Each structure stands twice: as structure tokens, then as C-alpha cells.
Amino acid sequence: MDNIFKTAMRTVLILAAACLLLWGILPSYRAVFAGLLLGVAASSLNALLLRRRVEMVARSMANRSVRRMGLGLGSRMAMVLLVAMIAYRYPETFNLPAALAASMVMPFIVLVSAFIWNKRQ
């Protein structure tokens, strides 16, 4: 699982670097690339939150504790809502559709990363 997540995070960092490079090269599309950067940042933070929460649930199941835990859906939804609010508040800086589309990119990257790692084994 760690290899899959490391590969996914490396891919997201490459995507963010490409967006930053294109933000500097293409000034007419700066709002779009800034929105993509904002969404990718939120998506990677959501993945880190979900990973931490899954590890907490697995640890509590291994210890056979009866404490009930959710998967933290509210905090991840709040992160995407924050991205939408920032992009809506500053439309000249961040493109709202680009930010919302990029905030959902990490699950697909993890899926492709898992597929690649499972093919190798």
C-alpha cells in the first residue's frame, strides 16, 4: 500500500510541477492552471487524510477495540468546499471548474498506480 501511495503522490507532484510550469509559460491561461494547482493540492491533502483515517481504523481493528470510527467524509467534503469557496471568491485568480475537476483527480491516480503495481507483481 505504501508503494502505491508513494507512486501516486509522486505523480501528483509531477502534475503540480507541470501546472506551475504552464502557469508561467501561458499567461492567458493562468487562472486555469492556478485552479488546477489549487484542486490538486486539495486532492492530495484529502488522500493524506483518508490514508491516516484508514490506518487509524485498521489499528483499532487490530487491537479489537469497540470504538466506532467513521472514515472522515466530512473533513474531505469541507476541503473541497473550501476550494470551491476560494475559487468562487477570486475568479480572476482561480478558475472554478478547473479547481473542482482537479480536486477529484487523486482517486484516479491511486487507481492507476494500484493497477500498475499489481501488474508488476
- Cα–Cα dist 97/60, whole Å: 39
Mean of the per-residue pLDDT values of the chain: 90
In Å, what is the CA distance from 25 to each residue of 21, 29, 49?
A: 6, 9, 33
Distance set, CA 57 to CA 43, 51, 54, 104 (Å): 21, 10, 5, 23
Distance from the Cα of residue 5 to its chain's centroid: 11
What is the average per-residue pLDDT within 5-13?
Answer: 93
Q: Percentage of the chain with pLDDT > 90?
A: 69
pTM of the model: 0.86
Distance between CA atoms of residues 1 and 73, nearest Å = 21
pLDDT tens for each residue of 34-92: 999 999 999 999 999 988 888 887 888 788 876 666 667 888 899 999 999 999 999 99
